[in-house]
Structure 1
């Protein structure tokens, strides 16, 4: 039974493209962090193929020029945002919050930056030592 979803309708071509990308070290095009091939398919840090021009906007699911590697959580955060908007949000997030250490932290920072939030200065807590007791 043919599928109306272009990702599944072209399953063999999409699967071959995914295998080719998974066989090489990849970095997420949104957060810039490495993507480990060890995560299972539905894990938030797993490799997903992200269409630069979303399928909903007429992009191809199997054209290698239209597909980039992304973490699942980054890809879900993006949705169908244009590439320029994603890059401007990532730049604003880095300026407001500094470098992120995980894809989940990137998504958190990006959501905050998209809302226009600014980083709250962190107070460094000093732990009293026995010399000061």
Structure 2
């Protein structure tokens, strides 16, 4: 029975792409840490293929130009966030916390940095609203 999920519908091509990426040293494009090929598939530090343009937004699951290596926990944290948003959160995380020692630490720091950025934006919006009410 054919699958409607493009990752499974193109299983052989996706599997070949994953094997090709696993055969070479890889770094996670989000946290920048090396990915060890020794972790089992469902481990948080395992290699996963992350689509730059998510499949839900029209990206290809088997196009090598659309796929980058990521840790499972980093990939799950990203979800379908745009690349520019992930990069801005990573930059804010680096400036707020410095370096991280593990992918899990990066995810923890990134969540915190993203919340801080959201609070800062809300504060700026409140300040704009209060200023606009004065005139």
Structure 1 unaligned spans of 5+: none
* Number of residue pairs the alignment of both structures matches: 133
TM-score by length of 1: 0.88
Deviation, structure 1 residue 80:
0.1
How far off is 1:39 after superposition?
Answer: 0.1
Q: Which of 118, 124, 127 is 1:125 aligned to?
A: 127
For residues 114 and 127 of structure 1, what CA distance do their matches in structure 2 show? 22
- 4+ runs deviating over 6 angstroms: 117-133
Aligned-residue Cα RMSD (Å) equals: 11.3
Distance 1:63 1:115, change over 3 A: same
How far is the alpha carbon of 1:131 from its aligned partner? 63
Whose helix fraction is larger, Structure 1's or Structure 2's?
2
Deviations 1:18-57 (A, max 9, x none): 0000000000000000000000000000000000000000
In structure 2, stretches of 5+ residues that fail to align are: none
Q: Deviation per CA, 1:77-119: give whole Å up to 9, x if none.
A: 0000000000000000010011000000000000000001799
CA contact 1:96–1:119 (8 Å) conserved in 2: no
TM-score by length of 2: 0.86
